[in-house]
Amino acid sequence: MKYITKVSLLALSISLTTGANAENNQLNVYTWAESIDPVLIENFQKETGIEITLDSYTSNEDLLAKLKSGSSDYDVVFPSQHFVKIMIQEGLLKNIDAKNMTAFKQVDDRWKNKWWDKSSEYSIPFVYGTAGYTVNRDKYKGPANSWKEFFEPTGAAAGNVAVFSTPDEIIPAAQLYLDIDFCTEKRTDMKKVYQLLKKQKEYVAVYSSDNISSRISSGEVVMHNWWDGDSMRARKNNNAPIEYAQPKEGLVGWLDSMVVPRNSRNSDNAKTFINWMSEKDNATIEYNYYAHSSAVAIDESKAIHKKENSPEIFPTAFIKFTRACSPAAQKLVDKVWTKLLQ
Annotated binding site for spermidine: 34
> Distance (Å, rounded) from C-alpha 322 to C-alpha 325?
9
Between the two ends of the chain, the Cα-to-Cα distance in Å is 19
> Distance (Å, rounded) from C-alpha 342 to C-alpha 173?
21
CB atoms within 10 A of CB 158: 12
Question: Which residues sit in the known binding site?
Answer: 34
